[in-house]
Every structure is written in C-alpha cells, then in structure tokens.
Structure 1
Amino acid sequence: MANVVTPQLFESGYHAATDVLAGRATAATVRARLMDRFGLPQRTVDGYWQCHIALLNGTKFRHTLQADGWRFNLAKIAELGPVALMAALETFMEHIVYLKGKAGGNEPGLHRVHEEFVRAIQTSAVFNIAEAALDGQVAEAMAEPADVRSARLRQAPSKPEQQLVLSRIFKRSPYVIAEVLLRAAGICESCESPAPFTRADGRPYLEVHHRIRLADGGDDTVENAIAVCPNCHRERHFGAAYSEAGNGALPEVNSVMTQGDKETEK
C-alpha cells in the first residue's frame, strides 16, 4: 500500500486511541495494527492515535499532523461538550505555538482549524449571567417550605455540573486603580473605616468600584472611582439603597471627596 494519509487513518487512529484509553489494547498493539494496515512508518501512525489522547489529557504533542487530522479529533472531543473542547483547544494552541519555533512549522491551516472550533464554542456557550441567575434561584429556594428544601438537598448531586461561559471584561487602567487607592490611604471612602486586612505585601486591602459601571458607559477615571471595603463594595452591587440608584451607582449625596475636600469641609 502506498504511504498516503487517508481519511480512514483519522478514524482508525481515533479508535486506536479509545482502545488504549479503555485498556482494550496496548500502545504496541495499536501501533503495529496501524502500520500494517496503512503501510506507514511508526512515527506517522503514532501521531494519528496519540493526537486524540494528547487533546483529552492536555499533554504535549510533538508529531506532525495534517489539519484535517486535527479537525477530525477535535470534532470527536466536541461531542463530549464545550468544556472538554475548550481544554483540547488549549492543548492544540500549545502545539501551534511550538510549531512557530520550527522552520516552516507555522501552518495557517492549523490556525484556521483552531478558529473554526473557537467559533463553535462561542455558539454553544452561554454568556456569564450565572451569578445573577443563581441569586434569583437562591431567593426562590429560601421562600420554599423547609421540607421541600430538605427533599431537594437529598436529590442534589454533590458534584456540580460544569458549564462553559463567556465573559466580557474591561482592560482597566492600573494607574486609575493606583491613584484611587493612594487617595484613600487605607480608609474606605464610603464607611470611612480602615481596610479590613492587609495584603501579603503590606498594602491595605480595598477594592476600586466605579460609581457609574463601565458596562453602563461609565468612564475608567479617578473621578468615577471610589476605594471601598469589600462589604461596602458588595452593598453597591446588591444593596437595596444602591440598586434603587441604578446598577450599583453611588447616590449623588455620597459623592467622592478628595482628602483636601474633607479638610475644607471641616
């Protein structure tokens, strides 16, 4: 048989990998089987069954493999769900980065396969509204009778189901955060209590909160930020008084003052 990689090798390599993982065959057995069937050298056939194991286990992969071979194996892992696929894509990207360091190894085809499955994850995942949904579910659970809650606790799995979520984050300026923390000098700018503890490096622990949320169009500026203790920070996101002001924004009567302003007001 000619030394040609065919789509049948992708399928056979996948089944060989599942046999090894399940303990139905040894590496030597599947290697000999593939070499005999396809007339290919050991290193070539090793790539086509070890690829799937590497993607599942997150191990390094150093064989040369066609883009279609990667696509086939990623499609099989995608059947296990988006969490498994996300982990496999991290391994795949590590391999692509490895190839960039080799002469002629930066294959555009591999990048296209990676982007293809990233798009698949984006369409199957949900956006990160889990925390808000959980808060509503907790409120409903607290309103149920005690016997109903007890029954549901007995039925609840001890290991939580995993779900892949997509989050939009803002790349905040470290200089704005630094300036606000220096202005606060370790004192919560809401309740005026000292920071509840210090970090490992000795800095007082305060959190920087945006008066008008970035998600609501607020600016990432010193004027729009306040350094608060964790308790006050949670209040601004979930407290009744602040939710009435709108999405955790500080009411106008609690506007932030600089140290100079405070001294002037006295």
Structure 2
Amino acid sequence: MRITEKQVSEAYRVARKVYEGEIKKADGVNELVDVHGLNRATANDFIYDFKCLLLGKVFHRAMSAGAMHYFLSKIHTEYGVDSLIQAVISLKAHIKYYEGHFKVNMRKLRGVAEEFERLTRHNKTFLEIEQEFHRSVKESLEDNQSNRLKRLSKANKLPEKVEVKTTVFIRNPDVVAESLIRANGTCESCLTEAPFLRIKDGSPYLEVHHKVQLSKGGEDSTDNTIALCPNCHRKEHYGM
C-alpha cells in the first residue's frame, strides 16, 4: 500500500511529539494506525527512524526517498543545520548498511543524502570539512575493495566546489620571527636542518607551530611555539 504525503506529514508530526516527550511511543503508534491508516510496523519505523536521524545513528528499516526528503526538510527547518548534519550522517549510515546487507543500489536515497549534504557544507567551516573528509577516508579504508570500485565507477571525476566560512587568528609576526631566530635553521623537534631554503630570500624553511592551538585557547607567544620542519609539523597534527 502506497503511503500518502498526508500520512508522511502526520508521521513526522507524531514522531516529533514522541521524541520531544509530549506523548508515549505506544500512543503515537496507535494514533498513526487508528487515525491515519498506517500499519503498525510502518508507524514504529517512522518514529524510530526519526529518533535515529536526530541522533546521527544508523537505522535499519527503510523509508521511501520521498518520505526521507520530507523528514530532512522539516528537520532542517525546525531543528537547524547541526541537526540536519546529524540526520545526513544517519541516512548515509543507513544506505551503507542496507546496500551491504541486501546487495541493492539505493540510488534515490543517495540522491536525497547528497542534496542535503550540499546544504550542510555551505554552513561548515574549512576545519569541519577537513575532519569529515578524513573520517570518510577512514571509512573507505575499512570498506572492501569491491564497494570502493563500485562507488568509483559512478563518482563524478570533477570535485564539487563550495564556499566555507572560516575564523582567522591574526598572529603576532614578532612571535613567528623570534621563534625562527631561536631555531636558527634547525627543527626544534627532530633537530635536523631545515629541508630546503626559501626561494624568495634563501632562509631555512621551518614552520612555526603552536603547542596549544590558538583555537583551544593557546597563547600567541614564543613560550607556546616551536619551529618545525614540515614532516614534524604534520606529525604534531596527525601523528600518534
């Protein structure tokens, strides 16, 4: 039996009331069954899936692409972009589970996930996009090659471009200068000479790193900096 748009909207309304604690889940299910004509399993699924979407958790019972589009639109409007981000994470996890479990291609749901993911990207910082990218690479490495090659065969070879918002710290140039002078061309971590000289002035190439990041309240002072070669600098950010 095809679920109508009215039933989808009522399912969202009831699921939200259950999630907000206004009514008990059993009462919500009964309302969707007795008043709006959904079968009991589907009513349960809508309520459970809504909770998972807001919490960013995987759900296993499928929802149609049309219903999912409605739910994500309402979540974006009523709960904001942070909740939409969680909902997209939840949907992508569901797609990954369902395609792997049932060996199907959820093309329409993928389209919904991609549409709303584009919306969330316009509200993310550069750092958030970078962190999400590294999480996705980790997930890809943990997946099997067959799934990766399947995704690659369908992937757009030209990367998407988005504008991002960012916060920039206006750093003290004297702190950088003093840190470089102190290092005298030698990495203050591995104690080797700078790997090359700058083309513009012939000075040793080292990067000044804040031991406690400025974004985490660290001071922009020489006591909180260390001059590093590029390899050691990457290690500070990404190493064990």
Q: Do these two structures clear the TM 0.5 threshold for a shared fold by scoring above it? A: yes
Kept after mapping to 2: 8 A contact 1:35/1:45: yes
Kept after mapping to 2: 8 A contact 1:209/1:228: no
Structure 1 residues 1-266: aligned runs within 5 Å: 3-79=1-77, 80-103=79-102, 105-125=104-124, 127-130=164-167, 132=168, 135-136=169-170, 190-192=184-186, 194-195=188-189, 204=190, 226=205, 230=209
How much has 1:62 moved relative to structure 2? 1.3
Kept after mapping to 1: 8 A contact 2:18/2:47: no
Provide the aligned C-alpha RMSD in A: 3.8
Kept after mapping to 1: 8 A contact 2:11/2:46: yes
How much has 1:36 moved relative to structure 2? 1.5
Kept after mapping to 2: 8 A contact 1:58/1:88: yes
User: What are the Cα deviations for residues 178-202 of structure 1, in whole angstroms up to 9, with x where unaligned?
Assistant: xxxxxxxxxx97543642xxxxxxx
User: Partner letter of residue 129 of structure 1?
Assistant: T
Larger Rg: 1
SS at match of 1:102: helix
TM-score, reference length from structure 2: 0.55
CA distance in 2, matches of 1:31, 1:191: 70
SS at match of 2:102: coil
TM-score, reference length from structure 1: 0.50
How much has 1:61 moved relative to structure 2? 1.0
Residues 231, 64 of structure 1: alpha-carbon distance in 2 compared, 3 angstrom cutoff:
closer
Kept after mapping to 2: 8 A contact 1:47/1:63: yes
Residues 58, 15 of structure 1: alpha-carbon distance in 2 compared, 3 angstrom cutoff:
same
User: What are the Cα deviations for residues 199-241 of structure 1, in whole angstroms up to 9, with x where unaligned?
Assistant: xxxxx599x99987xxxxxxxxxxxx95656369x9xxxx9xx
**Percent of aligned pairs with the same residue?**
21
SS at match of 1:25: coil
CA distance in 1, matches of 2:195, 2:53: 40
Runs (5+) with no aligned partner, structure 1: 140-187, 196-203, 213-224, 240-266
CA distance in 1, matches of 2:191, 2:14: 54
Runs (5+) with no aligned partner, structure 2: 126-163, 173-181, 199-203, 214-219, 221-240
Counterpart residue number, 2:179: none
- How many pairs align? 161
Residues 93, 210 of structure 1: alpha-carbon distance in 2 compared, 3 angstrom cutoff:
farther
